[in-house]
Structure 1
């Protein structure tokens, strides 16, 4: 079984804004770095991408900011595959602080791309097998409050 995914980092000074906490754009950077690490985790490291002339594009993202994260604070990002098909992955990342409190979430849709054709294409078989293995090993019944949210003002 593929070990679970975890990405850990601390907030560098250059990620802190005039409010004294991590800037909203830097949450996107942190989740993007975690996405890159997850892509490597499923078997698409630089060598594999070059070998297969295959890469991953981001189609859509949604971030929820739940708590402030200050300079030098450590955070941990984990990933869950909400769904997948032959060439797409619907992922959900959670960012937690050192106390284990949820501070942000990031939902995204990724698509595998054949770089020769310049269009969507099925994952290489070993990558597809790893995605399947991770999905089958995780808790797929878990309710995730932030997943699938839309932006809007709730009217009473």
Structure 2
């Protein structure tokens, strides 16, 4: 049975850059607007994809790219304009063509985990625009990061709605 990670546990995950939530990301309540949660969480995934060679280089060369298929967002604590945040990413598993992961929004201003996004991504041949097998070198990199995450002493709480096919 999984659980929500602690602030320190999220801090130990591979993560994106810290940022201060700017006023233009706010809503009428002074909160981080819902549409910007997705962007912040998604941007951090790309940090991990770059580390394993699935980032912009392959896409810019027209070889292949990672496409989003499904996301499940959970909001747990308020994030306000001016709060300092970052995202920890935990790769959960993969198939030959799919990548399953969790991204956690850490609020450094309040020392808490504010939101999570479970996501399913796929690898696409940019020539055919069809799903294809993740290249072996990048698959090996994903497997290394997945194994590191699997060795952590906590298991993530999953939505139950996302299953790599």
**C-alpha distance after superposition, 1:52-104 (max 9, x if no partner):** 61011101001001111111211121111112111110110111111431100
**Structure-to-structure mapping, 1:6-21, within 5 angstroms:** 6-7=15-16, 8-21=18-31
Higher relative contact order (CA 8 A, sep 6+): 2
| Partner SS state of residue 136, structure 1 | helix
The CA deviation at 1:4 is 5.1
Contact preservation (8 Å) 2:58, 2:65: no
Runs of 4+ off more than 3 Å:
none
Greater CA deviation, 92-101 or 19-28?
92-101
Greater CA deviation, 46-55 or 99-108?
46-55
Distance 1:58 1:25 in 2: 16
Indicate the residue corresponding to 1:126 in structure 2.
137
When the two chains are superposed, the root-mean-square deviation of aligned CA atoms in Å is: 1.9
Does residue 83 of structure 2 align to residue 73 of structure 1?
Answer: yes
Aligned pairs, number: 147
**Structure-to-structure mapping, 1:5-84, within 5 angstroms:** 5-7=14-16, 8-51=18-61, 53-84=63-94
User: What is the TM-score normalised by the length of structure 1?
Assistant: 0.85
Distance 1:86 1:45 in 2: 17
**C-alpha distance after superposition, 1:101-148 (max 9, x if no partner):** 110000100000001121101111211010000111123562323x12
Unaligned runs of 5+ in 2: 1-11
The CA deviation at 1:12 is 1.0
User: What is the TM-score normalised by the length of structure 2?
Assistant: 0.81
Contact preservation (8 Å) 1:89, 1:110: yes
Indicate the residue corresponding to 1:148 in structure 2.
159
Contact preservation (8 Å) 1:86, 1:122: yes
Greater CA deviation, 105-114 or 27-36?
27-36
